[in-house]
Amino acid sequence: MPAPLLVPAAIGVLFLALPLVGLLVRTPWSQLATQLAAPGVGQALRLSLVSATLATLLSLLLGVPLAWVLARSRTRGRTVLRALVTVPLVLPPVVGGVALFLVLGRQGIVGSWLDDAFGITIPFTTTAVVIAETFVAMPFLVISVEGALRAADARFEDVAATLGAGRWTTFRRVTLPLVAPGIAAGAVLCWARALGEFGATITFAGNFPGTTQTMPLAVYLALQRDPDAAIVLSVLLLAVSLATLLLLRDRWLGRGGAA
Amino acid sequence: MSLHASIAVRRGTLDLELDVEVADGEVLAVLGPNGAGKSTLLRVLAGLLPPDAGSVVVDGATWDGDGTSLPPHSRSLGMVFQDALLFPHLSVADNVAFGLRTRGAGRAPARAVAADWLARVGLEGLGDRRPRELSGGQAQRAALARALVGEPALLLLDEPLSALDARTRLAVRAELRRHLAEFRGSTVLVTHDPVDAMALADRVVVVEDGRVVQAGPPQEIARRPRTDYVARLVGLALLPGTGRGTRVHLDDGGAVAVAEEASGPVFAAIRPESVALYVARPEGSPRNVWRATIAGATPHGATVRCDLTGEVPLVADVTATAFAELGLAVGAEVWATVKASEVAVYSR
């Protein structure tokens, strides 16, 4: 292999791996148990897992149909629609948080109506955490599923139609199973992104232990007063992310890749 | 059960205008080169592509026309594609049962019927397999069972054998022939292989550039082709000319002696096996003797097919032994003879 490619590639690997190694090297392994047992850690972890999972479910519910529309419809508005979907990908999450606040905040366009009509306040609640994470993470799912839908052989849908399947039946019984590996991959990406979400969450949902303080927020706060605690929390988050990735890879992605 | 279709489709460079009629239990082969619009015809019949004009009527029910267009899933049809296209996420049995399930059959009855059909196409006991565990021929048999399981009024076959290797193709063709004989609905078979058309169809229409250029029973098409495309497919030399008595004066020069009197514009068709080649001018008096040059030679099993240029363009089949013994090669000068009685003559 030529050196001009090999050397930068090796540096790239180091660049990606070294921080993780550093994290593990500096981890106070002897205090690990006590640190993890500290009040608030379990709470933050549970909140992170629950809200990231809820955000992923919400993204699946809205994102898969959206991806289908993007992949299959032939309307002219599709380009605009795709651009719209992609915006949260490139938008700084803090800006997303501000935007959400302006719409769903108590003075916001939708938020004031929700408050007046139903007495519902969204900001600074766990609901706000889920919404902020969905806003940031759903595009990952949409892009991934749209790609899978485009790559899937559309002739299978023709076959289903000639066998008496309407469009909804075709989608349920043929299209969805065909792109299942793509959906699983998208959901993992989406979940991981939601788990790590920081900017939009702290802006829109705030930082209240127990209701809106997710792991990334807890890590950031801990770093200011107790660096060792921050490291422990980081290692925990890293372990959870890696474990999920490996688990889903064997369950879904591995099989999809082999087929 | 019958199909009456008269459709027009214009898409980019494709300009399709076809009338086809298929009776109960009849198999119609649509034969034509790639891009002639054959597959488009099938997509229109299946309801996957709305025609720009015209109508499709099956068993007296209007599928297209009169301002209506029935969606594909409401049409009583089965379709087999070039690739089997079995759903990869379903077992073979569930693939075959699919059409029954979508039409409201329960799981158990649908599976029972599917198992029955799998046995009929010779796939007994393979129902629990995944499609990727089947060979190409097995997959195409399963696809046929899947299309026939709902006893459709119309069966559409889109190049069903062309993705198979030569040996499998022979076996599947024979089996397809048997199932088509039992099938009571109308069948439209699209193919570019004349052998498929001859072996499977009751009637053939030849489509070129979106129009029917010839229609008739397979033997008729094979014996009396009307276009160069069909002539080449069935391996004949097609010579247009004008008949005067027992001679046909060819449009491109030269003349052919024929057995029966002919007049007016005619085709003279000469089969490759009727052409004999000699290195020296033959003795005796065969009526047709021409000087020719071998322009190309391709082995076909035990024979060599020679393309001849000269006063009259011909195709000749010579046994491989004769080809070698005569010392023939591309570029060689030969004498070609054809008995007058071996020349088919029919009006243009």
Tell me how close the Cα of B233 comes to any Cα of chain A, in angstroms: 29
- Tokens representing B96 are 């075959």
- For residue A166, list chain B residues with Cβ-Cβ distance below 8 A: 71, 73, 102
Pick the residue from chain A with its C-alpha nearest to B130: A259
Share of chain A above pLDDT 90, in %: 53
Q: How many CB pairs under 8 A join A and B?
A: 68
Tell me how close the Cα of B142 comes to any Cα of chain A, in angstroms: 13
- Rounded to 10°, the helix A180-195/A126-151 angle is 150
Across A180-194, B48-62, B283-297, least confident range: B283-297
Q: Which CATH superfamily is domain B3-227 in?
A: P-loop containing nucleotide triphosphate hydrolases (3.40.50.300)
- Average pLDDT, rounded, for chain A: 89
**DSSP bridge pairs for B310:** B292
- Tokens representing A29 are 């392994």
Mean pLDDT of B67-89: 93
Nearest to A178 among B71, B78, B89 (CB): B89
pLDDT band at A251 (very low <50, low <70, confident <90, very high): low
Q: What is the pLDDT of residues A106-143, one digit of tens each?
A: 888 898 888 888 888 888 999 999 999 999 999 999 99
CA–CA distance, A71 with B120 (Å, rounded to integer): 39
* Cα Rg, chain A, nearest whole Å: 21
Pick the residue from chain A with its C-alpha nearest to B86: A156
User: CB contact, 8 Å: B155 with chain A?
Assistant: no
Tell me how close the Cα of B76 comes to any Cα of chain A, in angstroms: 8
User: CB contact, 8 Å: B85 with chain A?
Assistant: yes
Across A27-41, A183-197, B182-196, least confident range: A27-41
pLDDT at residue number B109? 92
Name the 3-class secondary structure at B75: coil
Nearest to B150 among A155, A160, A164 (CB): A164
Across A236-250, B54-68, B286-300, B305-319, least confident range: A236-250
DSSP B280: S
Interface of B with A in 280-309 (CB under 8 A): none
Pick the residue from chain B with its C-alpha nearest to A174: B87
CA-nearest of B298, B296, B299, B295 to B309 is B295
Please classify residue A251 by burial: count the beta carbons closer than 10 Å to its beta carbon, then call 0-12 exposed, 13-18 middle and 19+ buried.
exposed
- For residue A174, list chain B residues with Cβ-Cβ distance below 8 A: 87
User: CB contact, 8 Å: A119 with chain B?
Assistant: no
- Tokens representing A223 are 């770093």
**DSSP bridge pairs for B296:** B307
User: CB contact, 8 Å: B79 with chain A?
Assistant: yes
Sign of the dihedral defined by the CA atoms of residues B217, B221, B227, B230, in that order: positive
Partner-chain contact B79 A159, CB within 8 Å: yes
Sign of the dihedral defined by the CA atoms of residues B309, B310, B313, B318, in that order: negative
Identify each DSSP E strand in chain A by its residue range.
Answer: none
pLDDT band at A256 (very low <50, low <70, confident <90, very high): very low
Does residue B89 carry a pLDDT above 90?
yes
Q: Mutate one of B49, B58, B98 to test the A interface: name it (highest A CB count within 10 A).
A: B98
Domain covering B235-347 assigned CATH 2.160.10.10 in the classification: no
- Asked if residue A22 is part of any domain, the answer here is no
Please classify residue B176 by burial: count the beta carbons closer than 10 Å to its beta carbon, then call 0-12 exposed, 13-18 middle and 19+ buried.
buried
Q: What is the pLDDT of residues A47-99, one digit of tens each?
A: 999 999 999 999 999 999 999 999 988 777 888 888 888 888 889 999 999 99
pLDDT at residue number A250? 67
**A63 CB-near residues (< 8 Å, 6+ apart):** A138, A141, A142, A145, A186, A190
Does residue B95 carry a pLDDT above 90?
yes
Instruction: Order across the sheet with B53-58: list the strands.
Output: B14-22, B3-11, B53-58, B61-65, B68-69
Q: Mutate one of A155, A158, A162, A255 to test the B interface: name it (highest B CB count within 10 A).
A: A162
- Asked if residue A11 is part of any domain, the answer here is no
Mean pLDDT of A14-29: 90
CA–CA distance, A259 with A246 (Å, rounded to integer): 19
User: CB contact, 8 Å: A179 with chain B?
Assistant: no
**DSSP bridge pairs for B333:** B293
**B261 CB-near residues (< 8 Å, 6+ apart):** B243, B245, B246
CB atoms within 10 A of CB B179: 17
| pTM for the full predicted model | 0.80
Residue the block writes with tokens 């229609």: B215
pLDDT at residue number A240? 86
Q: What is the pLDDT of residues B254-293, one digit of tens each?
A: 899 998 888 899 999 999 989 999 988 887 766 899 999 9
**A69 CB-near residues (< 8 Å, 6+ apart):** A78, A81
Does residue B309 carry a pLDDT above 50?
yes
CA-nearest of B189, B153, B229 to B39 is B189
Partner-chain contact A169 B102, CB within 8 Å: yes
The complex's ipTM works out to: 0.81
Tell me how close the Cα of B257 comes to any Cα of chain A, in angstroms: 53
- Look up the CATH number of the domain holding residue A240: 1.10.3720.10
Instruction: Order across the sheet with B237-250: list the strands.
Output: B237-250, B255-270, B344-347
Does residue A36 carry a pLDDT above 50?
yes
**A17 CB-near residues (< 8 Å, 6+ apart):** none
- For residue B87, list chain A residues with Cβ-Cβ distance below 8 A: 156, 159-160, 174, 177-178
pLDDT at residue number A253? 54
Share of chain B above pLDDT 70, in %: 99
CA–CA distance, A202 with A192 (Å, rounded to integer): 17
Length of chain B: 348
Nearest to B89 among A166, A169, A177 (CB): A177
Identify each DSSP E strand in B42-93 by its residue range.
Answer: 53-58, 61-65, 68-69, 77-80
pLDDT at residue number A148? 94
- Rounded to 10°, the helix A126-151/A41-72 angle is 40
End-to-end Cα spacing for chain A: 31
Domain of residue A154, residue span: 41-258
Pick the residue from chain A with its C-alpha nearest to B49: A158
- Asked if residue A31 is part of any domain, the answer here is no
pLDDT at residue number B335? 92
Residue the block writes with tokens 């006991």: B125
Name the 3-class secondary structure at B217: coil
Number of domains in chain A: 1
pLDDT at residue number A169? 94
Partner-chain contact B87 A159, CB within 8 Å: yes
Partner-chain contact B72 A155, CB within 8 Å: no
Interface of A with B in 220-259 (CB under 8 A): 259
Does residue B43 carry a pLDDT above 50?
yes
Tell me how close the Cα of A253 comes to any Cα of chain B, in angstroms: 15
User: CB contact, 8 Å: A21 with chain B?
Assistant: no
- Asked if residue A151 is part of any domain, the answer here is yes
Nearest to A161 among B73, B146, B150 (CB): B73
User: CB contact, 8 Å: A177 with chain B?
Assistant: yes
Q: Where in chain B is the domain with CATH 3.40.50.300?
A: 3-227
Partner-chain contact B98 A180, CB within 8 Å: no
- Average pLDDT, rounded, for chain B: 91
User: CB contact, 8 Å: B103 with chain A?
Assistant: yes
pLDDT at residue number A177? 94
Does residue B1 carry a pLDDT above 70?
no
Q: Where in chain B is the domain with CATH 2.40.50.100?
A: 235-347
- Tokens representing B148 are 């026939």
- Asked if residue A117 is part of any domain, the answer here is yes
**DSSP bridge pairs for B212:** B207
- Asked if residue A19 is part of any domain, the answer here is no
Q: What is the pLDDT of residues B124-159, one digit of tens each?
A: 989 999 999 999 999 999 999 999 998 999 999 999
Partner-chain contact A180 B102, CB within 8 Å: no
Pairing of strands B68-69, B61-65: antiparallel
- Rounded to 10°, the helix A93-104/A126-151 angle is 120
User: CB contact, 8 Å: B148 with chain A?
Assistant: no
